[in-house]
């Protein structure tokens, strides 16, 4: 390994695939397709999420997927599903339409908070894993549920940092830390709740392997610029995590020698 | 005539309608969409083998922006 490669952050290996970027981004809420494309490019992301939706029957179907860089992996989601049965059906439809086994599993428990229904999520995960899906589940930041989802065969778990689209940042850093410490070999992708670059850096410093975000970029006044900020934040946060930060101290520790200073 | 529910809308079509013909009449693309009839996904290569029946419930999906 060359010196410059040694100080790069490591790549992400997920379900047998290698990703150079640890940022996964969405395709919702952009003001225009051109802005979305520019943001996607600036983010450096190699995987994007898309939603499954009923086609309009008035012949106005637009090929949304044509606006995505074909080199990016498409990760369909089961957003809008409120029980395991609908999530499973949505995943099967997505697989048929796109020919991908990858699915972001999202089962929502409540319309106001969009908080996940962990019980239904686990139930759906078991069925979909058995059907050969690569299931990436969105769930509450709970260690025990993470363990259950991993035991069910999910190659990664995707705890929320805060409610979807809230931009509140990591609301419970202790939960993420505990998950990281207790699940050393598991892939943890923080999904939802990041609002700005420092939020992304904090999540990565806590040991997240990747971050999935949509609104923080799409709703920024300048989405492509925020996409670049997120790229840098995720890289910086990961590098900081891998480098092992200094311990926090209550008192000062001089950087310059006190001894030998002129009297 | 038979009555179908397509994406929540009730539509009457002549009896004996093939799924593949319905998709063409609805002016839908034949790629990057998927169809479910009565809760089961119909593989693309089977669209021309499925004759729709009265009261069938269809879901036809495509992709939109999402997170």
Mean per-residue pLDDT pooled into runs of 10, chain A (263 residues): 75 96 97 97 98 90 87 97 98 97 97 96 98 98 97 98 96 97 97 97 98 98 98 97 95 91 90
Which helix or strand (DSSP H or E) is residue A199 part of?
helix A197-205
- DSSP E strands in chain A: the ranges are 12-14, 17-19, 23-25, 47-54, 73-77, 102-105, 134-139, 158-159, 189-191, 210-213
Dihedral over alpha carbons A107, A79, A24, B44 (to 10 degrees): 110
Domains annotated for chain B, with CATH where assigned, are 2-62 (3.10.20.30)
* pLDDT tens digits, A16-30: 999 999 999 999 999
3-state SS assignment for residue B33: coil
Residue B20: its pLDDT value, please? 96
Is the Cβ pair A64, B7 closer than 8 Å?
no
Predicted pLDDT at A2: 63
Question: From B29, which residue of chain A is nearest by alpha-carbon distance?
Answer: A61
Q: Are A64 and B63 within 8 A, CB to CB?
A: yes
The CA–CA distances, whole Å, from A53 to A35, A56, A91, B56 equal 22, 9, 12, 19
Contact A65 B67 (CB under 8 A): no
Asked if B29 lies within 8 A of A50 by C-beta distance, the reply is no
Nearest to A86 by CA among A102, A107, A117, A55: A107
Rounded CA-CA distance A172/A97 in Å is 37
Please give the torsion angle defined by the CA atoms of residues A34, A209, A177 and A102, in that order, rounded to the nearest 10 degrees: 80
d(CA A166, CA A12): 26
pLDDT of the residue at A258: 86
Identify the pLDDT of residue A216. Answer: 98
Which chain B residues touch A45 with a CB distance below 8 Å?
none
Distance from CA of A256 to the nearest CA of B (A): 49
Find the closest chain A residue to B43 by CA distance.
Answer: A96
Q: Do B65 and A27 touch (CB under 8 A)?
A: yes
Q: At what angle do helices A33-43 and A223-243 cross, to 10 degrees?
A: 20
| Catalytic site includes residue A225 | no
ipTM: 0.96
A16 in reach of chain B (CB within 8 A): no
Kindly tell me the sign of the dihedral angle through the C-alpha atoms of A55, A56, A59, A64.
negative
B46 touches chain A (CB under 8 A): no
Q: CA A80, CA B10: separation in Å to the nearest integer? A: 22
Q: Which of A96, A100, A162 is most worth mutating to test chain B (most B CB atoms within 10 A of its CB)?
A: A96
Residues of chain B contacting residue A59, judged by C-beta atoms under 8 Å apart: 26-27
CB-based contact A55 B60, cutoff 8 Å: yes
**Do residues A93 and A100 make contact, with C-beta atoms less than 8 angstroms apart?**
no
Other beta carbons less than 10 A from residue A86's beta carbon: 16
Query: Out of A104, A126, A148, A231, which one is annotated catalytic?
Result: A104
Nearest CA in chain A to B28: A59
Task: Give the A window 166-205 contacts with B, CB below 8 Å.
Answer: 192
Measured between CA atoms, the residue of chain B closest to residue A33 is B65
Q: Are A240 and A30 in contact (CB under 8 A)?
A: no
Show the low-confidence residues of chain B (pLDDT under 70): none
């Amino acid at each position: 390994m060359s010196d410059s490669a040694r100080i790069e952050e490591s790549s992400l290996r997920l379900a047998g695939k290698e990703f150079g970027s640890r940022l996964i981004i969405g395709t919702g809420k952009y003001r225009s397709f051109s802005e979305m494309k520019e943001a996607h490019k600036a983010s450096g992301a190699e995987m994007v999420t898309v939603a499954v939706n009923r086609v309009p029957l008035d012949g106005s179907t637009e090929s949304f997927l044509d606006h995505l860089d074909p080199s990016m992996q498409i990760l369909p989601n089961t957003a809008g599903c409120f029980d395991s049965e609908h999530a499973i059906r949505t995943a099967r439809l997505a697989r048929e339409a796109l020919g991908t086994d990858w699915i972001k599993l999202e089962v929502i428990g409540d319309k106001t908070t969009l908080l996940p229904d962990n019980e239904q999520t686990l139930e759906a995960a078991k069925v979909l894993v058995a059907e050969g899906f690569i299931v990436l589940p969105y769930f509450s930041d709970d260690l025990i549920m993470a363990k259950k989802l991993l035991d069910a065969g999910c190659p990664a778990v995707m705890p929320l940092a805060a409610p979807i689209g809230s931009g509140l940042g990591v609301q419970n850093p202790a939960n993420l830390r505990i998950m990281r410490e207790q699940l050393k070999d598991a892939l943890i992708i923080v999904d939802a709740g990041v609002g700005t670059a420092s939020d992304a850096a904090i999540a990565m410093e806590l040991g997240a392997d990747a971050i999935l975000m949509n609104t923080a970029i799409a709703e920024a006044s300048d989405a492509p610029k925020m996409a670049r900020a997120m790229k840098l934040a995720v890289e910086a946060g990961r590098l900081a995590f891998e480098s092992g930060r200094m311990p926090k101290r209550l008192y000062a520790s001089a950087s310059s020698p006190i001894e030998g200073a002129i009297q | 005539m038979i009555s179908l529910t397509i994406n929540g809308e009730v539509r009457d079509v002549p009896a004996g309608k093939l799924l593949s013909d319905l998709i063409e009449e609805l002016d839908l693309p034949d790629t990057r969409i998927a169809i479910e009839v009565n809760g089961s996904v119909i593989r693309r290569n089977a669209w021309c083998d499925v004759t729709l029946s009265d009261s069938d419930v269809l879901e036809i999906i495509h992709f939109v922006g999402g997170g």
